[in-house]
Amino acid sequence: MRPASKQRLQLGMGIAVFAFAVIVSYFSVVETDTEDTLQYDIYLVVDVSGSMGTITNVGGYEQVTVTSSSPIVFAKQAALEFVDAFRLDDSSNHRIGLAIFYGGEYEPPTPKAEIVVGLNESSKLKEGIESLFPGGATAMGDGILIATKSLAENTRLNATKIIVLLSDGVSNVGEPPLLASSEAKENDITIFSVGYGSNADVMTLKAVASMTDGKYYDASTGQDLADAFGEIAGVLISPISHYSSRILILLAIPILLFIPTIEKGFTTMMRIREDKPLRKTESTAKWSCTSCNHVNRSTSKFCGKCGELIKTESTAKWSCTSCNHVNRSTSKFCGKCGKSKSKTGGQFS
């Protein structure tokens, strides 16, 4: 095959494998709504401390405002998309509530945590998300505790309890987050934590998730935040297909990159196999009968079809053309007339 044709073939194979993986991934998260489907009771627990807004200086005083680039704007958008992924309605298997945490304005600041929308108030969820406004300190532990208490008291018998925790800073007031997480663990609550921005307390957020068998997600930008919330929704909605499809993509990428190497190795192996002579052993060597062309085993002395004796050096004979005397193949002279085989032109029979 010409090099150019080979390259086109390799590229086509790689693109086909990768396209298949992407298609499977796209259709892997499907909407299901049966009695056998997992039921989730979920609390979105959102940090609404002052750092989630934009700090401006007004008359010598710092004031928290909200602009189009404020972290709270992207947090709202990510939360709304998360809710949309579950398509909540009266027949939904899932319930989602909203809790917030912050700190009071006085010194020292008072830890604050509130249930904005309860688990049975899904119709008010988007309105509650839109109403969020930043201000104050960061009471992360209190946010975990208030959601934990609501899930422990109000969750359904067969529902899996989940907290999706978002914070952009370090907990600096109220209940220690790890202590609150241990209480969540005691109540069989899994926490998915998301650290937003460069000032997020990654170590604490990772520990909170790890303690409750959840997972930590890092989000540097608003798009990263939306992606993180989307991935959490995907894991919850369709956990098996979510991970299997991504594994398929991860497998497709190295296949795409190393197809030339794989093809070269395969070609080399085939060439070595073709160049290697077949070793004739007793089990592989055979002989064909000159009378009936029947193929016999190398160890057979007689043809299995017509019974003809195999003609070897020990059995083949030659006839003298002068006197027609039949001599052994090893005889160089005729046993009757004494003439040389080479001179008489003896013929084997």
In the chain, domain spans: 38-55+66-250, 283-308, 313-349
pLDDT at position 319 is 78
Q: Tell me the pLDDT of the chain (349 aa) as tens digits.
A: 566 666 666 667 667 766 776 666 555 544 444 344 689 999 999 999 999 999 888 777 778 999 999 999 999 999 999 999 998 887 788 999 999 999 986 677 899 999 999 998 988 999 999 999 999 999 999 999 999 999 999 989 889 999 999 999 999 999 999 999 999 999 999 999 999 999 999 999 999 999 999 999 999 999 999 999 999 999 998 765 445 555 555 566 666 666 666 666 766 776 666 555 544 444 445 667 777 877 777 667 777 777 776 655 445 577 788 887 777 777 777 877 877 766 655 554 5
At a CB cut-off of 8 Å and minimum separation 6, what does 5 contact? Answer: none
164 and 82 Cβ atoms separated by less than 8 Å: yes
Give the architecture (CATH level 2) of 38-55+66-250: 3-Layer(aba) Sandwich (3.40)
Of 4, 155, 131, give the one whose Cα is nearest residue 66. 131
336 and 320 Cβ atoms separated by less than 8 Å: yes
pLDDT at position 35 is 40
CB atoms within 10 A of CB 296: 17
pLDDT at position 310 is 62
Of 114, 120, 118, 128, give the one whose Cα is nearest residue 80. 128
pLDDT at position 282 is 46
pTM value is 0.61
Helix/strand/coil (H/E/C) assignment for every residue in the chain: CCHHHHHHHHHHHHHHHHHHHHHHHHCCCCCCCCCCCCEEEEEEEEECCHHHCEEEEECCEEEEECCCCCHHHHHHHHHHHHHHHHCCCCCCCCEEEEEEEEECCCCCCCEEEEEEECCCCHHHHHHHHHCCCCCCCCCHHHHHHHHHHHHHHHCCCCEEEEEEEEECCCCCCCCCHHHHHHHHHHCCEEEEEEEECCCCCHHHHHHHHHHCCCCEEEECCHHHHHHHHHHHHHHHHCHHHHHHHHHHHHHHHHHHHHHHHHHHHHHHHHHHHHHCCCCCCCCCCEEECCCCCCEEECCCCECCCCCCECCCCCCCEEECCCCCCEEECCCCECCCCCCEHHHHCCEEC
pLDDT at position 18 is 67
pLDDT at position 274 is 58
